[in-house]
């Protein structure tokens, strides 16, 4: 049967590059582009795959963090938490666990709480990321202010994750009862056991 592609019988074209290799080689770039959209992959995606089906190397990805655009260098395995802490120096979210079981790496992604330790940079591109740092500074959010008033921390390692989770929860449930708050925050763990004071802090924000 006559071949209509022009490939040699071995599947290799005149350049020595096989169609299968081409499809594999373009896979990483296509996957990265599909995940983040062409606008957020600034450079390097075409080099991410050597034709063996294994994506490698770094690409430049634009992240929208706390209202500003930032370029970060990301391998396919780079987590959002790694990029926030090691490239953007936003160290509020903590690397306690690689899954969401501690809640210490909680950030807001398009307004919803998410675990930055288990989200890849490529998944975060094109979304609005909000870290605990956005709730501090000169325009202090009532949630961290109430944590201070209620003495709702000891070592403080869980606190940024709690503050972000509480902010997200109260945004959706401003009049939640204590039981609803306990249920809504059950993804965040405090090894120092400051739960009672965290509930007091939330009561302050809630208005009693």
Catalog residues that contact ligand FES under the rule CB under 6 A: 153-159, 190-192, 194
Nearer to ligand FES, 146 or 190 (CB): 190
Range 28-36 contact pairs with CB under 8 angstroms and sequence separation of 24 or more = 28/55, 28/76, 31/55, 32/59, 32/76, 32/122, 35/122, 35/123, 35/125, 36/61, 36/122, 36/125, 36/126
Shortest distance (Å) from residue 164 CB to ligand FES: 14
Compute the distance between CA of residue 194 and CA of residue 167 in angstroms, rounded to an integer.
17
Nearer to ligand FES, 61 or 198 (CB): 198
Shortest distance (Å) from residue 50 CB to ligand FES: 44
Shortest distance (Å) from residue 98 CB to ligand FES: 18
Nearer to ligand FES, 25 or 160 (CB): 160
Shortest distance (Å) from residue 109 CB to ligand FES: 23
Compute the distance between CA of residue 36 and CA of residue 104 in angstroms, rounded to an integer.
25
Compute the distance between CA of residue 67 and CA of residue 201 in angstroms, rounded to an integer.
27
Nearer to ligand FES, 148 or 192 (CB): 192
Nearer to ligand FES, 21 or 153 (CB): 153
Shortest distance (Å) from residue 115 CB to ligand FES: 16
Q: Closest Cα partner for 164 from 183, 122, 136?
A: 136
C-alpha dist (Å) from residue 208 to 77, 100, 170: 44, 30, 13
């Amino acid at each position: 049967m006559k071949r209509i592609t022009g490939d040699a019988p071995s599947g290799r074209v005149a350049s020595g590059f096989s169609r299968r290799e081409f499809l594999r080689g373009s896979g990483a770039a296509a996957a990265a582009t599909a995940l983040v959209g062409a606008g957020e992959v600034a450079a390097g995606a075409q080099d991410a795959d050597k034709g063996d089906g294994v994506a490698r190397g770094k690409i430049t990805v634009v992240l929208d963090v706390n209202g500003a655009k930032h370029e970060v260098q990301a391998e396919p395995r780079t987590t959002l938490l790694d990029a926030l802490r090691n490239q953007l120096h936003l160290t509020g979210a903590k690397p306690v666990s690689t899954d969401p079981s501690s809640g210490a790496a909680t950030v807001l992604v398009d307004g919803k709480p998410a675990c930055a330790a288990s989200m890849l940079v490529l998944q975060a591109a094109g979304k609005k990321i909000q870290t605990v740092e956005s709730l501090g500074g000169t325009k202090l959010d009532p949630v961290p202010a109430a944590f201070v008033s209620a003495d709702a921390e000891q070592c403080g390692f869980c606190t940024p994750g709690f503050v972000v989770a509480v902010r997200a929860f109260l945004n959706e449930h401003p009049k939640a009862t204590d039981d609803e708050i306990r249920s809504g925050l059950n993804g965040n763990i405090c090894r120092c056991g400051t739960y009672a004071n965290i509930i007091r802090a939330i009561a302050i924000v809630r208005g009693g």
